[in-house]
Amino acid sequence: MMRKAIGLLAIMIVLSSCGAAVKYSAIQPGRSTGSTDMEIAVYGLDDFPPDNYTVLGLITIDDTMFTVNCGYDKVISIAVEKAREVGGDAVRILDIDEPDIISTCYRISAEIIMFND
């Protein structure tokens, strides 16, 4: 009975850690969030948003070594959802680490920004 409980606990821990490690550090308070389908712009490494914006916070999305479903589109989707959550208008990618011998996941750091009126 005890082995089953320990085995079940181990499986729960592994399954709960399958998501990417997401860290968000707020710099400025955002505004009240819009709709959950609000359009969020994504600016890549070579793209630049208009000059008049405020950085709301920094987000990093990393691999936990147990992460699954961590392709480029999924990682960007996580950043976009966080931008919606904090009232941002866009995600500005600062750094991208592509899958390599150490990790099979995309890892990014980005700013979540709000355009000034």
In this predicted model, what pLDDT tens digit does every residue of 6-33 receive, in sequence order?
A: 544 444 444 444 678 899 999 988 777 6
Q: What is the pLDDT of residues 17-76, one digit of tens each?
A: 467 889 999 998 877 766 677 899 999 999 999 989 999 999 999 988 777 788 999 999
Regarding pTM above 0.95, the answer is no
Angle at Cα 104 formed by Cα 106 and Cα 42, nearest 5°? 10
Q: Are the C-beta atoms of residues 73 and 96 closer than 8 Å to each other?
A: no
Q: Are the C-beta atoms of residues 87 and 61 closer than 8 Å to each other?
A: no
Alpha-carbon separation of residue 69 from 20, 43, 48, 114 (angstroms): 8, 22, 28, 28
**Residue 21: strand pairing partners:** 62
